[in-house]
Amino acid sequence: MKRILLTGTALASSMLFATVAQAQITVSLGGYTEFFAGFYDNDQSGSTKREFELETEIVVRADGKADNGLLYGAKIELQNSTPNVNTTGVGTDEASVYLGGTWGRLELGDFDGAADTLKIYAPVVGIEQLDGDYTDFASVAPAFGIHIPNSGDATKVMYLTPRFAGFQAGVSYTPESGSEAQNVVAFKNTAGYKDWIEGGVNYTGEFSGFSVALGATVSSATGKNGTVTPTGGVLTPAAPLEDFTAWNVGAQVGFGGFLFGGGYVDADDFNRPTGVSGGDQSVWHAGLSYTAGPVAVGASYMNAEGFKGDGTYDSAYKGYAVGAAYTLAPGFTVQSDFVYFEEDNRPNGPKTGPKNSSDGYVFILDTRLDF
């Protein structure tokens, strides 16, 4: 990331009043641009077989340190987006301010919460295999992949402890799911969850040449009292979502250039409307990677089952993936992924009705420039 120093001296000619306040703030500018060429096939009639995709992000950071030792700053991530099929634009992906010190770190804004920050899961490389962008091209995907259901980038507050003897813990609170930036949820009866609490603890250490990482996280939210949907111009109450609590555990072990790990996620009632039954939701996954100089290769596997929340009540989803990455020049990487997926489901209810099956693959070639 390029670092641009903005000091009181540099700004004195136009901002004399800010000299003292800005004297120890460092502003840095960086980001990445990533181009995907996807080739894919699935069981859906009339689907496309190849497509290009571009993702780019600009990251602006401001980091300061006060005379009393207080760390403070902000981070803003600007990413290209696609509001509709005819236009493209740039929006804020994440944005936050933070305070830190020997007591830990307090962060406020739009960013991933404690469950996502502290989780440990299967190692991935390059485009990240089953944790990557293959779902942009695939016809079907699991309910929540290899990660515990979480509040995403919804506006929140989070506290992380300092790492002590290898351990770090944290907790975050999100008032309303899906509510970011200047959005304010004014009414109770809107889709989603409220009072989303996430927490977790992880450990990292090294022993006799081995690296070890262990983690456990929990995520819990209250389903809204009901959603309201327009039907023929009339507001119609819909079934509220069940409250849910999800948890996961994960581990990684490394030696030399090898890294092996995996995890398990249990999220019984996530995204399930009241009165709707279905199989308990769970995912387990494992992965192996190897890195030697500029070359990295990896493989991962995922097995997910249960209610999906999209009309699929009893789903069994499996994914198999391999990937590779080669650093061609400083900051410039060439990558590829191959993912094969298959799903069996019963759309009419758990253990009833006909069983539908679908499978497919996604092959991605990718270039990424980090700057």
* pLDDT (tens digit per residue) in 201-211: 999 999 999 99
Give the pLDDT confidence of 294-346 residue by residue, as tens digits.
999 999 999 998 887 666 667 889 999 999 999 999 999 999 999 999 988 76
Residue 177 lies in a domain: yes
pLDDT the model gives residue 310:
61
pLDDT above 70 for 56: yes
pLDDT above 80 for 289: yes
Average pLDDT over every residue of 166-182: 95
- In terms of residue numbers, what domain contains 198? 31-59+99-370
Residue 68 lies in a domain: no
pLDDT above 70 for 102: yes
The string of DSSP letters for 209-276 reads TEEEEEEEEEEEEEEPS-EEEEETTEEEEEPPBPPEEEEEEEEEEEETTEEEEEEEEE-TTTTPBTT-
pLDDT the model gives residue 5:
42
337: CATH: 2.40.160.10
What's the pLDDT band for 12 if we cut at 50, 70, 90? Answer: very low
Type of residue at 284: W
pLDDT the model gives residue 103:
97
Residue 25 lies in a domain: no
Q: Into how many domains does the chain fold?
A: 1
Residue 2 lies in a domain: no
In this prediction the pTM is: 0.86
Question: 120: closest CA among 168, 178, 159?
Answer: 168
Residue 73 lies in a domain: no
Give the pLDDT confidence of 121-143 residue by residue, as tens digits.
999 999 999 998 999 998 788 88
Comparison of pLDDT for 43 and 365, the residue scoring more: 365
Which ranges of the chain does DSSP label H, i.e. alpha helix? 8-11, 19-22, 114-118
Contacting residues for 9 by C-beta, under 8 A, at least 6 apart: 19
Q: Name the least confident of 14-28, 59-73, 259-273.
A: 14-28
Comparison of pLDDT for 14 and 68, the residue scoring more: 68
> For residues 69 and 73, what is the distance between their CA atoms, to the nearest angstrom?
13
What's the pLDDT band for 356 if we cut at 50, 70, 90? Answer: confident
Residue 168 tokens, joined: 């770090």
Give the pLDDT confidence of 196-240 residue by residue, as tens digits.
999 999 999 999 999 999 999 999 999 987 666 666 666 666 678
Residue 18 lies in a domain: no
> For residues 264 and 305, what is the distance between their CA atoms, to the nearest angstrom?
12
First vs last C-alpha separation in the chain: 6
Residue 229 lies in a domain: yes
Residue 170 lies in a domain: yes
pLDDT above 90 for 52: yes
pLDDT the model gives residue 252:
98
Task: Note the residue count of the chain.
Answer: 371
pLDDT above 50 for 24: yes
> For residues 362 and 340, what is the distance between their CA atoms, to the nearest angstrom?
7
Question: 57: closest CA among 73, 84, 75?
Answer: 75
Q: What are phi and psi of 93, to 5 degrees?
A: -85, -60
